């Protein structure tokens, strides 16, 4: 079992292994290239995001700058809008569903490290040699979610469809579908219902309609 297989199997792995360093270096360099592009260089940006990510759906957009760790472990569906300063540390797989919106400075992390300081320095192979390790847990984000500015999503979290995560929240546990969650750590404040519809805010809607006639 190679080190990348160990990641996907939920086992301890060595982040400094040559094969993993090569994947990360490629992704970091591609992100640096993306971050040097102009916003209207749409063809170049489209080419780069398809090199960076395992999947990048139609009509999705990343404002940039961004910093992605592996890239090949992240799948972004269609019609996703991501504002400035996205960070994804995708040691384990990260999945983002369609029609999501991310505010500035959203961070998604998957790796975990030992709590005991000496174990963070190293553990030991059967032959007594040292090995620096961590492990990682996947993050799954459903469709039609909105993340406010400066949200952090922690390892192993699943966020259901239709959720709103308040600005500055740190999401440490699963959030059920159609929930408004906020805080540090984030907790479910309430369910999102028809009472939240813009039809109840005519001062905002003006002449607009929420559904076609």
> In this predicted model, what pLDDT tens digit does every residue of 23-82 receive, in sequence order?
999 999 999 999 999 999 999 999 999 999 999 999 999 999 999 999 999 999 999 999
Q: What is the pLDDT of residue 182?
A: 98
Q: Which residues of the chain have pLDDT under 70?
A: none
Structural domains in the chain, sorted by start: 3-205 (2.160.10.10)
Q: What is the pLDDT of residue 212?
A: 86
CA distance 41 to 61: 12
CA atoms within 13 A on the CB side of 18: 0
State residue 213's pLDDT score: 77
- State pTM to two decimals: 0.95
- Residues marked active site are found at 113
| pLDDT, position 211 | 87
What is the pLDDT, as a whole number, of residue 168? 98
Bridge-based pairing of strands 101-102 and 94-96 is unpaired
Task: Spell out the residues 6+ positions from residue 105 whose beta carbon is closer than 8 angstroms to its own.
Answer: 84, 85, 149, 150, 151
Mean pLDDT across the chain:
96
Element (DSSP H or E) covering residue 52: helix 42-52
């Amino acid at each position: 079992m190679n080190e990348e297989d160990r990641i996907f199997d939920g086992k301890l792995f060595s982040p400094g292994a040559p094969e993993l360093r090569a994947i990360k270096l490629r992704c970091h360099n591609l992100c640096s290239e993306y971050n040097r592009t102009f916003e209207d260089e749409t063809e170049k940006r489209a080419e780069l995001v398809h090199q960076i990510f395992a999947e990048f759906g139609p009509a999705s957009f990343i404002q940039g700058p961004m910093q992605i760790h592996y890239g090949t472990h992240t799948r972004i569906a269609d019609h996703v809008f991501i504002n400035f300063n996205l960070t994804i540390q995708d040691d384990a797989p990260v999945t983002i569903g369609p029609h999501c919106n991310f505010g500035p400075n959203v961070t998604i992390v998957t790796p975990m490290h030992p709590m005991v300081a000496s174990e963070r320095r190293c553990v030991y192979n059967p032959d007594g040699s040292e090995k620096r390790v961590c492990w990682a847990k996947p993050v799954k984000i459903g469709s039609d979610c909105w993340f406010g500015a400066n949200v952090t999503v922690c390892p192993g979290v699943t966020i259901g469809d239709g959720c709103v995560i308040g600005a500055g929240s740190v999401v440490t546990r699963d959030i059920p579908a159609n929930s408004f969650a906020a805080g540090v750590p984030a907790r479910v404040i309430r369910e999102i219902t028809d009472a939240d519809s813009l039809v109840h805010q005519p001062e905002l809607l003006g002449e607009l309609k929420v559904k076609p006639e």
